[in-house]
Structure 1
Amino acid sequence: MKEVKIESFLQVYESFDELPEHVKSLMQEAMKARERAYAPYSNFSVGAAVLLENDEVVTGNNQENASYPSGLCAERTAIYYAGSQFPDVKIMRMALTAGSRKKQTVAPIPPCGACRQAIAEYEVKQEAPIEIYFMGETGKVVKSDSLANLLPLVFDKSFL
C-alpha cells in the first residue's frame, strides 16, 4: 500500500472590499442574482455570475420546486445557460454568494457536490481552469484557481 497526499490551494480575502475591482463587479452581479433567487422552501438564496472569455456576464440563481429534486442550483443555472447560449466560449471566472433568510451567512459557502461536478465538466470541455470566488452574504471570500482544488479526484469523460 502507498499513501497519497492530495493538497488544495485556496486564497482567502478578508472581505469583499479586499477583492480586485474586476472580481468585485462580478461578485456584485452574483449578489443581484441572489436577490432574485426562488427559494420559498429552504429560504437559502444563492447567486452566481459567470464571466466568459468574450466578456459576457451570465448570471443564475437557485430555483426551487416543491418536488425538491426538480430544482436547480445557481451555479448550474448560470453555466448551463452560458453553455447553451455561448457553446464555444470559455468560462473564465465564477463568483458565488449565498445567504439565508433565517440567519446571516458570514462563512464562505462553496458549491455543492453536484455543482462541482458540473463545473468540472466545463473545465474538461474547455481544457482550461475556471477561477471560482465564493462567499456568504458578508465576510471572507475564498478564491480557487480551478475546480480541481475543490474536487481533486474529478470524474470525467476519460472514464467512460
Structure 2
Amino acid sequence: MKEIKIETTLYIYQDLDALPTDIIPLMQKAFKARNRAYAPYSNFTVGAALLLDNGEIITGNNQENASYPSGLCAERTAIYYAGSQYPDAKIIRMAISAGSKNNPTTKPIPPCGACRQAIAEYEIKQETPIEIYFMGETGKVARSNSLANLLPLVFDKTVL
C-alpha cells in the first residue's frame, strides 16, 4: 500500500477591503449578480463574476425551478455563457458571493461539487489556472490560485 497526501492552499483575506484593489470591482459585480438571483425555494442566492482575457466581465446567478434539478448555479450560468459567447477567451479569475435570506453568511462559501467540475473543464480546456475568490455576503474572502486546489482529484477526458 502507498499513501498519497493531497494538500490544498487557500489564501484568506479579512474582508472585502483587504482584497487587491483590482479584485474588489469584480467581487462587487458578483454581489450585484447575487442580488438578481432567482431563489424562491432555497432563499440562498449566489452571484458569480468572471474576468476574461479579452477584458469582458461575465456575470451569472443561480436560477431555481420548482423542479429542483432543473435549476442552475451562478458559477455554471456564468461559465456556460462565457463559453458560448466567447469560446476562445480564457477565464482569468472568478469572484463568487453567496448569501442566505434565512441566516447571515459571513464565512467563505466555495462552489458546489457540480460547479467545481464545470470550472475544472474550462481550466483544463484553456490550459491555464482560474483564480477563484469566494465569500459569503460579508466577512472573510478565500482565494484559490486554481480550481485544482478545490477539486484535486479531477474527473476529466483522460478517463473516458
Q: Give the TM-score, by structure 2 length.
A: 0.99
| Residue identity opposite 2:155 in structure 1 | F
User: 1:76-87 counterparts in 2 under 5 A?
Assistant: 76-87=76-87
Q: Which runs of 5+ in 1 are unaligned?
A: none
Q: CA deviation at 1:145?
A: 0.2
Q: Tell me which residue corresponds to 1:90.
A: 90
What is the one-letter code of the residue matched to 2:88? D
What residue number does 1:28 align with?
28
Q: How many residues align?
A: 160
Matched, 1:150 2:147: no
Task: Indicate yes or no: 2:132 matched with 1:132.
Answer: yes
Quick check: 1:3 aligned with 2:7? no
Alignment match, 2:118: 118
2:23 is paired with a residue of what secondary structure?
helix
Letter of the aligned partner of 2:135 in structure 1? M
Amino acid at match of 2:112: C
Residue by residue over 1:53-104, the C-alpha shift from the partner in whole angstroms, topping out at 9 and shown as x without a partner, is: 0110000000000000000000000000000000000000000000001111
1:39 shift after superposition: 0.2
Once superposed, what is the RMSD of the aligned Cα atoms?
0.4
C-alpha separation in 2, matches of 1:62 and 1:22? 25
Identity of aligned residues (%): 74
Partner of 1:62: 62
User: 3-state DSSP class of the match of 1:21?
Assistant: coil
TM, length-normalised to structure 1: 0.99
Which structure 2 residue ranges, 5 or more long, are not aligned?
A: none
Paired AA for residue 76 in structure 1:
R
Q: Deviations over 1:17-43 (max 9, x none)?
A: 000111100000000000000000000
